[in-house]
Structure 1
Amino acid sequence: MLGGGKMKGGDAVSGGGSSNISPMVSFLLGAAVATVCVLFFMSASPGRSLVDVAAWSHNNGTAAQHHHHLRSVADDADAARNLSVVVAAPAPAPVQASPYGDLEEVLARAATADRTVIMTQINAAWTKPGSLLDLFFESFRTGEGGVARLLDHLVIVTMDPAAYAGCQLVHPHCYFLRTTGVDYRGEKFFMSKDYLEMMWGRNKFQQTILQLGYNFLFTDVDVMWFRDPFKHISMGADIAISSDVFMGDPYSLGNFPNGGFLFVRSCNKTIEFYRHWQAGRYRFFGKHEQDVFNLIKHDMTDRLGVAIQFLDTTYISGFCQLSRDLNKICTLHANCCVGLGAKLHDLRNVLDVWRNYTAAPVPDKRAGKFQWKVPGICIH
């Protein structure tokens, strides 16, 4: 009996007292087992977050509220991480290459405060030692009135790689105008097919300069610069062009132009003028740009209101109509002269006379004792 009672007592402890103790013990044991399982699960999967715990117990009392809170915290953390990635690594903006290469950079370096540049154009034949580019630079260096400072604003446009390399050795503002279809390295004879291509290509390039918002004074490399020519360009002129033959009135369209020395202000009128000028290449087929200018000048001044000044050959001179007053002359162009050899011969003589003139006492200069060596091959 006693033995049997102990057995029942054991039953009572494990079964008969369940009404007071078993539910709580069961709950505690169940919770402990669950916690161990969760911890084991999390330790086995470290990537899991607390939201997984909340999701597992969302039916227990306020667990749903904790689940919602923990999920919000996790979402905010994920959003922050995603945002930091976006901010830290923005997509690079596409780089747009200029269609003109480094032209705008060269122009900006060379331009005056009012966005004016001086330009000349050369090929390899004109850059050899002792050729036209050397004479061109020498005229600036021996000039009067600080004309040499204008070299700071000179852009040399080169037509072939050899000319570009040669330019870079002697000048800071060089631009390589890349063209197709013509070999520009050699001398181009007047009115040849390659000569016309070169002249019309130059004209188109000048239009580009205007469209970029720069005024320009274009000078052929066979123009000798002795004094500052800007003093003789009217502020009211949209275009100022040198004259093969000057008739006396700078605003008369009866003057004969020469495009080898040309100043143009950048504005809508002059850009439109250049568009019509370019169209004239096909309208007057076989003409070079200087002849077409002469043919359209009346129509363009009437239609566009462009003010054209023809420069007085007393100051802006050339072999066509030679100024003999060395006290007034600013530039001298080897125009009306065909062939590189002839130009070189006569311009060397011009510089010889000019050097003697600048070295002379002021009274001798004023007395007009110095004259050009004439006749030459072209100069007369």
Structure 2
Amino acid sequence: MKSATSLLLGAALATVFFLLYTSVRRDLGGGPPRSPPPQWAQEQGTASTAAAVARVVDGAEQGTLPARREDAVAPREEETDDAAAEQRQDQQKMVMPTRQQQDTAVAPHQDLADLLRRAAMADRTVLMTAINEAWAAPGSFLDLFLESFRHGEGTEQLVQHLLMVAMDGKAFDRCNSVHPFCYWFRVDGMDFAGEQSYMKGDYLEMMWRRNMFQQTILELGYNFLFTDVDILWFRSPFPLISPTEAQLVMSSDFFVGDPNSVGNFPNGGLLYVKSCDSTVRFYKHWRSSRARFPGKHEQFVFDRIVKEGLPAHVGTTRVQFLDTDYFGGFCQHGKDLGKICTMHANCCVGLQNKLFDLRNVLDDWKTYKARVAVGNVEHFSWRVPGRCIH
């Protein structure tokens, strides 16, 4: 009996001590471990974190990331609702096409002015071309383009003044693997990586975006000689271009014999523009005229505004056109390889067709140089017809 009483007393004391301990712990902020939050709360926390990451990525793409602050403080309570709403909006903005998700996510920091400064000639002139994934891929136009400079007469050093403008992330990566001056002209929501067949897909927007970039170069105070990447270079064109005679000089699909005639058929694949107030105003007029000719490319609009005559507020930009005997193409070209500076794969549809004929053109040029070396160039010209050349 005494043993049972002792046991009951011990149990009672243990219970009292347990209750006292629990009470003290609760008052001190302790207590049993918390249960995991419900599933809906976990999902909400994950979404908030994803939104925060999304906002940082989006800010980097837009170039709007704020400077880092070491003394940053927590937001006031009344700001949190706005921040949560902003996070939700940023989550929605991060939905991108599949192709873009496969591309480089964030464009690197780029200083266009510094690239131009390093690439420019002494007179602030840069060569410039534009590439996308399809045209920059190994074995495609970019390789032929660069090879032509190596085999041309006095052209190899010109590559030191070439700025390559990449229209997508893969073209930018490819450029960086072969050339020092690469700039990614990123356009959110647009995919310029494919072949971009003439007047199909994103072709029009790509051409007008290129036009806008050229205006930017002029506004930064640099002259440029733009060249399509499906143009082979055999001699320097600069001796045949005089900035004192014309501030804008464009190649021709068909040349009528007079460089000053508006009857020439313009082709913006080879285009020299001198940086000055009048050419900047010309570009603004050119771009604003697009609205009057919906669905037309920049060459069509150029042809129309030149034929119309420039309004007084634009200024006195003088326009000339290049002779196809020196600046040929598949539309029209001279037969004397002793004169030729460039050859353009114009008047041709299809990437493979252009590549086939350009390879033949480059081979013909190499054969011509070999025959010059032994003094035998009689009756030698381009191989025609090809898949494009007729």
Partner of 1:159: 167
Residue in structure 2 matching 1:309, options 304, 320, 323: 320
- Residue type of the alignment partner of 2:196: K
1:269 touches 1:305 (CA, 8 Å); kept in 2? yes
Partner of 2:256: 247
CA distance in 2, matches of 1:365, 1:325: 14
Deviations 1:44-74 (A, max 9, x none): xxxxxxxxxxxxxxxxxxxxxxxxxxxxxxx
CA distance in 2, matches of 1:326, 1:301: 37
Deviates more, 1:298-307 or 1:134-143: 298-307
Provide the alpha-carbon RMSD of the alignment: 1.8
Q: Which runs of 4+ in 1 moved over 6 A?
A: none
Alignment map for 1:237-276 (pairs within 5 Å): 237-276=246-285
Deviation of 1:364 after TM superposition, in Å, equals 4.0
Deviation of 1:234 after TM superposition, in Å, equals 2.0
Residues 271 and 134 (structure 1), Cα distance of their counterparts in 2 relative to 1, 3 Å cut: same
Deviation of 1:258 after TM superposition, in Å, equals 0.3
Q: Quick check: which has more Rg, 1 or 2?
A: 1
1:238 touches 1:306 (CA, 8 Å); kept in 2? yes
Deviation of 1:132 after TM superposition, in Å, equals 0.3
1:241 touches 1:311 (CA, 8 Å); kept in 2? yes
Alignment map for 1:278-357 (pairs within 5 Å): 278-301=287-310, 303=312, 304-357=315-368
Q: Equivalent residue of 2:232, what SS?
A: strand
User: Structure 1: 5+ residue runs without aligned partners?
Assistant: 1-93
Residue in structure 2 matching 1:110, options 119, 140, 161: 119
Partner of 2:193: 185
Deviation of 1:339 after TM superposition, in Å, equals 1.2
Deviations 1:76-111 (A, max 9, x none): xxxxxxxxxxxxxxxxxx89xxxx941111111100
Alignment map for 1:88-99 (pairs within 5 Å): none
Partner of 1:3: none
- Residue type of the alignment partner of 1:227: R
Identity %: 58
Residues 249 and 129 (structure 1), Cα distance of their counterparts in 2 relative to 1, 3 Å cut: same
- Residue type of the alignment partner of 2:273: V
CA distance in 2, matches of 1:313, 1:343: 18
User: Structure 2: 5+ residue runs without aligned partners?
Assistant: 1-66, 69-108
Partner of 1:134: 143
1:273 touches 1:300 (CA, 8 Å); kept in 2? no
2:110 touches 2:183 (CA, 8 Å); kept in 1? no
Partner of 1:79: none
Deviations 1:124-179 (A, max 9, x none): 111211100000011100001x1111000000000111111111111011111111
Deviation of 1:301 after TM superposition, in Å, equals 4.2
CA distance in 1, matches of 2:358, 2:269: 16
CA distance in 2, matches of 1:252, 1:314: 16
Deviation of 1:276 after TM superposition, in Å, equals 0.9
Partner of 2:178: 170
Count of matched residue positions in the alignment of Structure 1 and Structure 2: 282
Deviation of 1:204 after TM superposition, in Å, equals 0.5
Deviation of 1:298 after TM superposition, in Å, equals 3.1
Alignment map for 1:366-377 (pairs within 5 Å): 366-367=377-378, 369-377=379-387
Deviations 1:276-328 (A, max 9, x none): 11012111101100000000013444632211110011101111112111000
1:300 touches 1:306 (CA, 8 Å); kept in 2? no
**TM (normalized to structure 2)?**
0.70
Deviation of 1:374 after TM superposition, in Å, equals 0.9
Q: Equivalent residue of 2:205, what SS?
A: helix
**TM (normalized to structure 1)?**
0.72
Q: Equivalent residue of 1:287, what SS?
A: coil
CA distance in 2, matches of 1:185, 1:301: 35
CA distance in 2, matches of 1:133, 1:325: 25
Deviation of 1:379 after TM superposition, in Å, equals 0.6
1:160 touches 1:185 (CA, 8 Å); kept in 2? yes
2:368 touches 2:377 (CA, 8 Å); kept in 1? no
Deviates more, 1:272-281 or 1:296-305: 296-305
Q: Equivalent residue of 1:200, what SS?
A: helix
CA distance in 1, matches of 2:348, 2:150: 24
Deviations 1:236-276 (A, max 9, x none): 21100001111111111111110010000001111011001
Residues 256 and 275 (structure 1), Cα distance of their counterparts in 2 relative to 1, 3 Å cut: same
